[in-house]
Amino acid sequence: MKTENLIILLICLVLGGITGMAQEGQQNGKERPNILFIMSDDHAYQAISAYDDRLLKTPNIDRLAKEGIRFTNASVTNSICAPSRAVILTGKHNHINGKIDNHMAFDTTQVTFPQLFQKAGYQTAMFGKLHFGNSPKGVDEFMILPGQGNYINPEFITKEGGRVTKQGYVTDIITDMTLDWLKSGRNAEKPFMMMYLHKAPHRPWWPRADKFKEFYQKEFPLPETLFDDYENRGTAAKTAEMNLLKHMKYSHDSKVFPQTIAEMGGVEPEVPEFDMGFWGPFGRATAEQQAEYRPVLEAINADFKENWPSMTDREKMIWKYQRYMQDYLGTISSVDDNVGRVLDYLDESGLAENTIVVYTSDQGFYLGEHGWFDKRFIYDESFKTPLLVRWPNVITPGTTEDEMVQNLDFAQTFLEAAGISAPDDMQGESLMPLLEGNNKEWDRDAVYYHYYEYPSVHMVKRHYGIVTKDYKLAHFYYDVDEWELYDRKKDPNEMNNVYNNPAYADVVEKLKAELTKLRIKYKDSPELDQKYIDIYKEKMK
Ligand code: SGN
Ligand code: CA
């Protein structure tokens, strides 16, 4: 080949390479967006002021609602931690991805959406709580909490497979890692997909010492249904073990010292020989850190000693509710401050413009509604989850969206936003039409739900069901065979099961048919129900 021709060939190759690179970094001529997925653990929408400002102000999380979209009908397919995370990562229901409960191992041969991002040239990272029993795939960088993790001086699993203990408060530490990575771990040539996953506000609720002090001074309004007696509900609501008065612990939850309870004739000897070294996250704290908590702990204990003996059950319920809210909301206040730090950094660095920021929780949570804490049920407080998304120049700021969307939809949404094709066997729907304001392209009118973990902590019975904007129909099975129907418009607090009310006979018939169709659509079946019962029994032996 002549030198001249060789030079022309080389120029063509170089130019071709550059164009190829440009295509990889772009989508339809635009830079591919970054994704910052923020998820907290057990964060009730009732505790985000963009949804409800009666309990707490969350000015930073609210920025996402103001500058983006707020979904009022976002829900999960199975209201429990690890299963929700498996749904998010695989874009498939739990009966397909196999992680039906917190005990089952996640099969890591499955495709998760971060792997697809990594393959498509994104830089990927994950910091915080995964709760999978194994490490994530498809992330270039990660630091995750083992299991539930700890609030104080938490341990982290590193990418190299080792463990490191970090001194301090978990919410601050996870945020520091996230910010460090954004500032210096990032490759500016590539778009990123980052999962920033909080442990807070998961039980046992330990706020940072200053928030503990601040929130102990506060009193919160009582929920309308705090004294629910579960009349007109099924066996499942009556037998669940998540009632504040009956099942919340004075020691583990309300922070009365085990010694104090024993002295007062209560019965919660949970700590071996009352060794405070074993007392929840407090046991992990250094003497110096413990000293910061002491004054409030002493005040709680003095109050308990003075007032508990003469309290009626009603007063005990209110006392526990106030202690619960002080601690639970105190942990969220730190989440909000830290989300603010990250949003500020996105603004300062100029990254905000091309970054999709999502705030959600792995499920909803009871904040005393129906007398409960925890989650698991298909009923609203547990089934619904907060979902806020900001994406400048795509989402109209301040949008409120009432369509029924689910955590099942996240993977396909992110993939579409990044111009990566989603595998055909994912079961959600991309939320892109709703984000772009093309609501006419959205035609879902019902969602499917299936909860499995029973018998287990909190004893919520197995059930599956269908939810439309108007009704909720659920079938509780395993050791019962009971159906429940709620009229969501007339009975938003879900106080009356109208399944046997003749006025709803047509609704029941129609919804049962739709539920059967949904089970077929998502490939769930009585055979699978039985298979998972058998696996569960074997596992729990
Ligand atoms: C722990 C909690 C429960 C909670 C489960 C599951 N108890 O067992 O209250 O329901 O986790 O939570 S505690 O000892 O930590 O206080 S999940 O978010 O992981 O599903
Ligand atoms: Ca959770």
Shortest-distance ligand to the CA of residue 85: 2
Shortest-distance ligand to the CA of residue 41: 2
Say yes or no: CB of residue 457 within 6 Å of ligand 1: yes
Distance (angstroms) between ligand 1 centre and the Cα of 457 equals 8
Kindly tell me if the per-residue pLDDT of 5 is higher than 60: no
Tell me if 360 is assigned to some domain: no
Shortest-distance ligand to the CA of residue 44: 2
Say yes or no: CB of residue 253 within 6 Å of ligand 1: no
pLDDT confidence of residue 4: 53
Tell me if 263 is assigned to some domain: yes
Phi, psi of 42 (to 5 degrees): 75, 30
| CB-facing half-sphere around the CA of 72: CA atoms within 13 A | 10
Supply the mean pLDDT for the chain. 93
Q: Which of 257, 289, 324 is the last residue of a domain?
A: 324
| CB-facing half-sphere around the CA of 194: CA atoms within 13 A | 30
pTM of the model: 0.94
Q: Which of 415, 48, 378 is nearest to 240 (CA)?
A: 378
Residues 452, 97 contacting (CB under 8 angstroms): no
pLDDT digits (tens, 9 = 90+) for 43-90: 999 999 999 999 999 999 999 999 999 999 999 999 999 999 999 999
Beta-carbon count within 10 A of 514 CB: 17
d(CA 71, CA 63): 14
Six-digit token string for 18? 């550059």
Distance (angstroms) between ligand 1 centre and the Cα of 413 equals 29
Tell me if 96 is assigned to some domain: no
Q: Which of 264, 299, 324 is the last residue of a domain?
A: 324
Q: For residue 246, give every residue at least 6 positions away whose Cβ sits within 8 Å of its Cβ, in sequence order, or none.
A: none
Say yes or no: CB of residue 80 within 6 Å of ligand 1: yes
Length of the chain: 541
Q: How distant is the alpha carbon of residue 192 from its chain centre?
A: 22
Q: Which long-range contacts (CB under 8 A, 24 or more apart) does 495-501 make?
A: 495/225, 495/228, 495/232, 495/233, 496/232, 497/232, 497/233, 497/234, 499/473
Six-digit token string for 255? 């922070």
In percent, how much of the chain has pLDDT > 70?
92
Q: Which of 280, 300, 324 is the last residue of a domain?
A: 324
Instruction: Identify the three-state secondary structure at position 91.
Output: coil
Distance (angstroms) between ligand 2 centre and the Cα of 42 equals 4
d(CA 378, CA 463): 8
pLDDT band at 415 (very low <50, low <70, confident <90, very high): very high
Domain ranges, residue 253? 218-324
Give DSSP secondary structure letters for 394-441: TSPTTEEE-S-EEGGGHHHHHHHHTT-PPPTT--S---HHHHTT-GGG
Site of tokens 């730190």: 334
Report every protein residue that has its C-beta within 5 angstroms of ion ligand 2: 41-42, 81, 362
Write the CATH number for 511.
3.30.1120.10
pLDDT band at 271 (very low <50, low <70, confident <90, very high): low
pLDDT band at 22 (very low <50, low <70, confident <90, very high): very low
Say yes or no: CB of residue 494 within 6 Å of ligand 1: no
Q: Report the atom number in ligand 1 closest to the C-alpha of 41.
A: 18
Using DSSP bridges, classify how beta strands 69-71 and 399-401 pair: parallel, antiparallel or unpaired: parallel
pLDDT band at 29 (very low <50, low <70, confident <90, very high): low
Tell me if 306 is assigned to some domain: yes
Tell me if 302 is assigned to some domain: yes
Phi, psi of 245 (to 5 degrees): -70, -45
pLDDT confidence of residue 15: 46
pLDDT band at 270 (very low <50, low <70, confident <90, very high): low
d(CA 370, CA 479): 23
d(CA 162, CA 20): 38
Kindly tell me if the per-residue pLDDT of 246 is higher than 80: yes
Mean pLDDT of 196-222: 98
Q: Which of 423, 325, 421 is nearest to 373 (CA)?
A: 325
Q: How many domains does the chain have?
A: 2
Tell me if 259 is assigned to some domain: yes
pLDDT digits (tens, 9 = 90+) for 513-532: 999 999 999 999 999 999 99
Pocket test for ligand 1, best of 84, 131, 148, 372 (most atoms within 8 A of CB): 148
Mean pLDDT of 196-216: 98
Residues 293, 212 contacting (CB under 8 angstroms): yes
Rounded to whole angstroms, the maximal C-alpha distance in the chain is: 102
pLDDT confidence of residue 533: 97
Mean pLDDT of 213-237: 98
pLDDT digits (tens, 9 = 90+) for 325-367: 999 999 999 999 999 999 999 999 999 999 999 999 999 999 9
Say yes or no: CB of residue 202 within 6 Å of ligand 1: yes
Six-digit token string for 344? 């500020």
Say yes or no: CB of residue 101 within 6 Å of ligand 1: no
d(CA 352, CA 501): 52
pLDDT confidence of residue 268: 64
Provide the sign of the torsion angle of the four alpha carbons 411, 415, 416, 420, taken in this order: negative
Residue located nearest, by CA, to atom 20 of ligand 1: 81
Q: Which of 130, 87, 141 is nearest to 110 (CA)?
A: 87
Q: Which of 204, 226, 378 is nearest to 278 (CA)?
A: 204
Residue located nearest, by CA, to atom 11 of ligand 1: 203
Tell me if 245 is assigned to some domain: yes
Q: For residue 397, give every residue at least 6 positions away whose Cβ sits within 8 Å of its Cβ, in sequence order, or none.
A: 66, 67, 68
Tell me if 279 is assigned to some domain: yes
pLDDT confidence of residue 279: 77
